[in-house]
Structure 1
Amino acid sequence: MRWLVLFLSVFSSISLRAPVAIAATSIARTIVVNLKGGGDFKSIQQAIDSVPDNNNKWTKIHVAAGVYREKVNVKSTKSYVVLEGDGAQTTSIEWGDYNGDSSGHTTNTSATFTSYASNFVAKRITFKNTYNGFAKLTPAVAAWISGDKSAFYDCRFIGFQDTIADMHGRHYFKRCYIEGVVDFIFGYGQSIYERCKISTVKSLQQPGYVTAQGRNSASDNSGFVFKWCTISGPQATYLGRAWKHYSRVIFYQTFMSDIIVPAGWYIWNSKGYEGVVTFAESGCIGPGSDLSGRVKWEKQVINFCYKARLQME
């Protein structure tokens, strides 16, 4: 057990080193966005565009309460941005593109919010894809995150399929609410989800999948770690399915309601690679945490911890 805790601690410290440092860093500039006027801009995208390219000083964009119906894109040149809402229940960014719509959108271009910038922080804001996938699921991304050292605090992510595209880079999510049905946390990120509430929503899809992690090789550092989270909702779900052959997902001391499919995991695209897929659970509680029905190829904590120790020594 102590090696798993150490692994999680090391994983977390690597991911969070830069975002946590912002607490002791002064904000060089504050920009105010307000739909009703009285701020610097009425559009979030206009505020982001006003940040100088190759910015290296923390800039806060404070977004007043309201529903901002726009697609927002933080380009890779717009680093050191803090996007702060008045509260996730009152400040939201909403749009409804989906993969294959009449405009020819793909999964990544369907995203309501996209960030390619490193050193990005979002607080107290909702990212929502308004496409209704109850009857016909298709990728419709709420947030596409592909910048290194990105952190999200007290945010909400709402969608059906592919809600969070947790792509390349080190990412941290704390006290966030994440909602969806299929692969609603997917990607190649090296990410920590801490004290997050994960909820399924009702759909004609039975059952769903919380994660679809895309680790490609044994040397790939990516993986999803869930610490002290909760999983609940009205739809039965697997904890995850193996998008790539070396997929890696760990649930640690997480509450699981009875919606978890007893097998826990689905091999999907990686049949024949069960030995190198790393799906594991440790110290989880709740009716869905019963390990007796899990797939035989789920990694045992003691073996996983031993390998993690060897890699660190």
Structure 2
Amino acid sequence: MKCLLFFFLITVLSTSLHAPVATGAASIGKTIVVNPSGTGDFRSIQEAIDSVPDFNNQWVKIHLASGVYREKVVIGASKTYILLEGEGAQKTSIEWGDYAKDSAGHDTASCATFTSYASNIVVAGITFKNTYDGYNHMTQAVAALISGDKSSVYSCSFIGYQDTLADLFGRHYFKGCYIQGVTDFIFGFGQSIYEGCTISTANSVERPGFVTAQGRGAANDTSGFVFKWCNVTGPQSTYLGRAWGRFSRVIFYKTFMSDIIIPEGWSIWNSHGYENEITYAESECTGPGSNQSGRVKWKKALTNDELRTFTDISYIDNEGWLSKQPQY
């Protein structure tokens, strides 16, 4: 279903081996202002990103004035240590309408409104929206693709229908975000914690939906999606996830679930025979959708120690990289 161009993983891993270490961690070395009115340093977000030196090792803040930016934005793998800051998700948005057209040479990565391949990236206070008509044409139309290691996202919104957020590769932290979609709208191979986020379905011609499609493919793969103190809601009935990878891993912890959750909770999809290898777990969740009496029999029951392993911040940050980034 998803043409993800696996050579991107090789590129990202290769780049990370040579990634610079920031000097004066968490202090901003330079601020660039983007304003379409012309009163800033640049009118275009992409122009501002392109102005940052390759393999930069000082934090550069790119501040986006309020408004709607109609452009595709890419942070290349060499553009490290960027803080991309809006004036709030209700005021600053980046919007574009594209979808994956494999026969025409397009793919998941190229259709994204926002793409980040660099490590050490912070994004805050921005809405990322794919404006393609996903309601009538359910196909891949990515709002944001994040593939760089040590990436943190605060108070952002991601709006789409299918494959809204490509949590592709790397260790990521999402806090206080809003993510909306219908089919596999949080997907990828990321090793990520979502804390205090609202996960919302959208109205669609396709029923039911799937919140996640996590692609962990081997027993020694450390990736997985952890939803902690989140809220799952919306108008569309949905599964919590389906197994894109044969070792797929998704955990919901202390999360409120409205009555939209399909009683089975999870779908094996194309991974029949690997039920014992898949880690789908729910612990201490609340709300009418958290009733587990109808869940699939192969859903995991994790021990307290196992839960701590995944829900503690050390799951994505055992060396303290988050504390060295600009704080939100």
Q: TM-score, normalised by structure 2?
A: 0.85
CA distance in 2, matches of 1:184, 1:33: 29
CA distance in 2, matches of 1:104, 1:133: 20
Counterpart residue number, 1:4: none
1:116 to 1:264, Cα distance in 2 relative to 1, 3 A: same
Deviations 1:27-74 (A, max 9, x none): 000000001111000000000000000101000000000100000000
Residue 92 of structure 2 is aligned to residue 125 of structure 1: no
Q: What is the RMSD of the two structures over their aligned residues, measured on CA atoms?
A: 2.1
1:105 to 1:304, Cα distance in 2 relative to 1, 3 A: farther
Residue 198 of structure 2 is aligned to residue 187 of structure 1: no
CA distance in 1, matches of 2:23, 2:203: 38
Residue 255 of structure 2 is aligned to residue 258 of structure 1: no
| SS of alignment partner, residue 149 of structure 2 | coil
CA contact (8 A) 1:215 1:222 kept: yes
Counterpart residue number, 1:14: none
Counterpart residue number, 1:74: 75
**What letter matches 1:111 in structure 2?**
A
* Greater percentage in helix: 1
Residue 288 of structure 2 is aligned to residue 287 of structure 1: yes
| Residues 131-210 of structure 1 aligned to structure 2 (within 5 Å) | 131-210=132-211
**Residue 23 of structure 1: how far off its partner (Å):** 11
| SS of alignment partner, residue 109 of structure 1 | coil
1:66 to 1:256, Cα distance in 2 relative to 1, 3 A: same
1:118 to 1:66, Cα distance in 2 relative to 1, 3 A: same
Counterpart residue number, 1:50: 51
CA distance in 2, matches of 1:306, 1:40: 47
CA distance in 2, matches of 1:277, 1:217: 10
Q: Which moved more, 1:56-65 or 1:299-308?
A: 299-308
| SS of alignment partner, residue 289 of structure 2 | helix
Number of matched residues? Answer: 290
CA contact (8 A) 1:97 1:105 kept: no
**What letter matches 2:275 in structure 1?**
E
**Residue 136 of structure 1: how far off its partner (Å):** 2.1
CA distance in 2, matches of 1:237, 1:48: 37
Q: Which moved more, 1:300-309 or 1:250-259?
A: 300-309
**What letter matches 1:47 in structure 2?**
A
**Residue 302 of structure 1: how far off its partner (Å):** 3.0
1:122 to 1:71, Cα distance in 2 relative to 1, 3 A: same
CA contact (8 A) 2:24 2:58 kept: no
**Residue 102 of structure 1: how far off its partner (Å):** 8.8
Percent sequence identity over aligned pairs: 66
Counterpart residue number, 2:234: 233
**What letter matches 1:255 in structure 2?**
F
Stretches of structure 2 lacking an aligned partner (at least 5 in a row): 1-21, 316-328
**Residue 101 of structure 1: how far off its partner (Å):** 7.9
Stretches of structure 1 lacking an aligned partner (at least 5 in a row): 1-20
